Amino acid sequence: MGLWAGFATVSATNPIAKVIQMVADLQQKVIGEGQEAQKIYTEFAEMCEDRSRDLHNEIKTGKATASELTSTIEKSAADITVLEEKVSDFASAISEDEADLKKATEMRAKEHADFSAVQKELLSTINTIERATRIVEREMNGGASLAQVSNMKSVTEALTAMVNAQGIDGADGAKLMALVQSSSSSDSEEDSDEVGAPSAASYENQSGGIVEALEGLLTKAEGNLEDARKTESAALNAFQMTKQSLEDKIRFANKEMAEAKKSLAASNEAKATATGELDVTKKDLAEDIKELSDLHHECLTEATSFEESTKSRAEELKALAEAKKIIQESTGGAASQSYGLDQTSFVQVKAKDGETARVVNMVRHLAMTLHSHALVQFSNRLQTVSHSSTTDPFAKVKGMIKDMIEKLLDEAEADATKKAYCDKEMSETQQKQDEKEDSIEQLSTQIDVMAAESKKLKGEVGVLQKELAALSRTQAKMDKLRAEEKAVYEKNKPELQQGIKGVQTALKVLRDYYSKDEKSHSSSDGAGAGIIGMLEVCESDFSKGLAEMEAAEEASKTEYDAVTKENAIAKTTKEQDVKYKTKTHVGLDKSISELKADRTGVSDELSAVNEYFAGIKKECVAKPDSYEEKVKRRNAEIAGLKDALETLDGEAVLLQRKSVHRTLRGSAILKAAA
């Protein structure tokens, strides 16, 4: 029992072994902390990637929505400008038309007042002439002499009234005045003649001249009245057509202006709604961009921190390994002398050789399990060293395993640093690529929308121009046809009027002739009546033809004016539409050109980003194994090598214990023998 107690005391009081064990334990702890930190960082990186992807999608959606709302606002603003111009133009046109209508109405009122005055005067004149004629004819038919007609007071008054009437011109008035004076002179002579009345011839000549003059004046007054009424009728028709045209234009313009105002209100409402939504979208977008920036900063800070801690652990492991190596290589002899440990015996060496072979097999098995070419080569080198003639192949194998562990740890540190760099560059480059692609997509969408709208407007302008050309051709044909109809009317009307006048003149001659002395013409009375009857039929036919011609001309002119007015309104409307739509599609084409230039610039930037991204992918994308697979495999390699190293360390301690036991046992036997 004392022998084993002494051995335990020696083993327990060896601080070098304890230090080496503590260093190994610390190495395991640091490696474990690194693995745990790697696990936490991997989860954090996945969270960063997921949240970044979500934010990128939200930003992409927000930008697309903002672009659509901006397009809506721009379109509404353009529509508002066009509609405001339309409303202004319609208001100006309505004001002008209303002013023209007011002016035409005032002029019509003045014309009608003038006509009423002229008609009143002419009717008064005609009435006066007719009364005078009746008086003269009654006196003549009475068979009395001119001196017996109450001193011709009534005739004189009638003729004087006619002379003073405003409807008779100066020449006719002078003629009638002469007749009145002549009548008055005859009255004076009759008053001074005691014998009695003048001769019948004198009476008839005087009375016949007055009747003839009265009939001429009546015909002229009636003609003037008819001309005045025709002029009034034509003026009234012209006014009514002008009024109808202006009222139609005003009504149409008011309707169009109301529709334009309605569309303007709708455009203003759409613009206001889109502006409000755009403000909210921009606010949300700004918040998403800020959150993405904060997330990027947080993730980058965490990556930097992980990189620094990984580097720190690697440096710590390197320092521990170096210290452990120095302790093992430099304190062996001192420890043996200080703590009573003898040199390794021949039996220990042989045992170590067996353990070295076992460790080599462990490493080779690990290499085959992990399919690691590097470990296969390493196991071959271990095999070579274990069979070499060096002083201590066991220690050499341990040193090689430790060096291999250090190498793997250094590679792990380098890979972790490279992983953090690649994650950072890949994420930022992916973000730039997405932003450029989003910009190109938005620009392309805007260009396609504007191009479609411009194409539509150009098509509509083309249709309107064709309609205007057709309208012009139709109006030209109407003008030509109307001119031909008017020329025929102006040619035929005078001929009918001349025929009617000729027939009326002939009738008057025949009627006057046959009415003078019916007895003297009894032989030809039947023939004369027949001629007069035929002339009356001709007069009726000519008058009817003239009336129908005038009615047809009036109807044709009215229809022509109405259609011309409608064509003018349609032409004005279509020309305004052509103007507005041409202005709009020209503006759209200009915007399309600017957007295409912007898209070309963004496309060039995207090409540069894609080229850089391809280089980063080539550098950072692991082939064939991913970073996680490499870490997993490397950790397995390190763990296997540590197991092999611990096996060697454990066997060395056991051999030392057996050697000490055998030495103490031999000493006891020798002492007993002595």
Q: How large is the average pLDDT for residues 571-596?
A: 90
Given a contact cutoff of 8 angstroms between Cβ atoms, the answer to whether 165 and 124 are in contact is: yes
Cis bond before residue 624 (omega within 30° of 0): yes
Is pLDDT at 419 greater than 80 in this prediction?
no
Identify the CA nearest to 471 among candidates 357, 384, 383, 563: 563
Residue 184 CA to residue 206 CA, distance in Å, equals 11
Q: Is the dihedral of CA 619, 623, 625, 626 positive or negative?
A: positive
Is pLDDT at 7 greater than 70 in this prediction?
no
* Segment 634-649, tens digit of pLDDT: 677 777 777 666 665 6
Is pLDDT at 455 greater than 60 in this prediction?
yes
10 Å CB burial of residue 74 (0-12, 13-18, 19+) is middle
- Which run of H or of E encompasses 324? helix 200-330
Q: How confident is the model at residue 106 (pLDDT cuts 50, 70, 90)?
A: very high
Given a contact cutoff of 8 angstroms between Cβ atoms, the answer to whether 415 and 633 are in contact is: no
Contacts 24+ apart (CB under 8 A), 289-297: 289/59, 291/55, 292/52, 292/55, 292/56, 292/59, 295/48, 295/51, 295/52, 295/55, 296/52, 296/427, 296/428
Q: Which two tokens stand for residue 51?
A: 């949240």
Given a contact cutoff of 8 angstroms between Cβ atoms, the answer to whether 302 and 41 are in contact is: yes
Q: How confident is the model at residue 531 (pLDDT cuts 50, 70, 90)?
A: confident
Residue 67 CA to residue 446 CA, distance in Å, equals 8
Q: How large is the average pLDDT for residues 472-478?
A: 92
Q: How large is the average pLDDT for residues 137-162?
A: 51
Given a contact cutoff of 8 angstroms between Cβ atoms, the answer to whether 660 and 7 are in contact is: yes
Cα torsion 244, 250, 252, 254 to 10°: value is -150
The backbone region for 151, taken as left when phi is positive above 0, alpha when psi lies in -120 to 50, beta otherwise, is left
Task: Give the pLDDT of residue 473.
Answer: 92
Query: What is the full DSSP assignment across 218-232?
Result: HHHHHHHHHHHHHHH
- Which run of H or of E encompasses 179? helix 170-192
Residue 148 CA to residue 190 CA, distance in Å, equals 9
* DSSP label at residue 202: H
Residue 152 CA to residue 534 CA, distance in Å, equals 41
Residue type, 39: K
Q: Which two tokens stand for residue 9?
A: 């005391």
Task: Give the pLDDT of residue 184.
Answer: 44
Q: How large is the average pLDDT for residues 391-399?
A: 61
Cα torsion 544, 548, 550, 554 to 10°: value is 160
Is pLDDT at 476 greater than 90 in this prediction?
yes
Q: How large is the average pLDDT for residues 427-450?
A: 88
Query: What is the full DSSP assignment across 444-462?
Result: HHHHHHHHHHHHHHHHHHH
Looking at every residue in the chain, the average pLDDT score rounds to: 75
Task: Give the pLDDT of residue 351.
Answer: 44
Distances (CA, A) of 581 to 147, 245, 671: 91, 27, 126
Given a contact cutoff of 8 angstroms between Cβ atoms, the answer to whether 621 and 332 are in contact is: no
The backbone region for 157, taken as left when phi is positive above 0, alpha when psi lies in -120 to 50, beta otherwise, is alpha
Q: How large is the average pLDDT for residues 132-157?
A: 56
Residue 43 CA to residue 270 CA, distance in Å, equals 47
Alpha helices in 142-169 (DSSP H): 153-164
Share above pLDDT 70 across residues of the chain, in percent, rounded to a whole number = 68
- Which run of H or of E encompasses 90? helix 15-141
* Segment 329-377, tens digit of pLDDT: 666 655 555 554 444 443 344 444 555 666 667 666 666 676 666 666 6
* Segment 231-244, tens digit of pLDDT: 988 888 888 888 88
Give exposure, 235-253, as e/b (b: 16+ Cβ within 10 Å). beeebeebeebbeebbebb
Judged by DSSP in three states, 97 sits in helix
Identify the CA nearest to 55 among candidates 296, 252, 355, 409: 296
Q: Which positions ≥6 away from 257 have C-beta within 8 Å?
A: 86, 87, 90, 91, 94
Residue 603 CA to residue 362 CA, distance in Å, equals 58
* Segment 260-318, tens digit of pLDDT: 888 889 889 888 998 998 899 888 888 888 888 888 888 888 888 888 888 888 887 88
Q: How confident is the model at residue 383 (pLDDT cuts 50, 70, 90)?
A: low
Task: State CA 535 to chain mean position distance.
Answer: 78
Given a contact cutoff of 8 angstroms between Cβ atoms, the answer to whether 316 and 30 are in contact is: yes
Higher pLDDT, 103 or 663: 103
Query: What is the full DSSP assignment across 460-492?
Result: HHHHHHHHHHHHHHHHHHHHHHHHHHHHHHHHH
Q: Tell me how long the chain is.
A: 674
Alpha helices in 331-392 (DSSP H): 332-339, 346-370, 373-386
* Segment 649-667, tens digit of pLDDT: 654 444 444 443 433 343 4
Q: How confident is the model at residue 403 (pLDDT cuts 50, 70, 90)?
A: confident
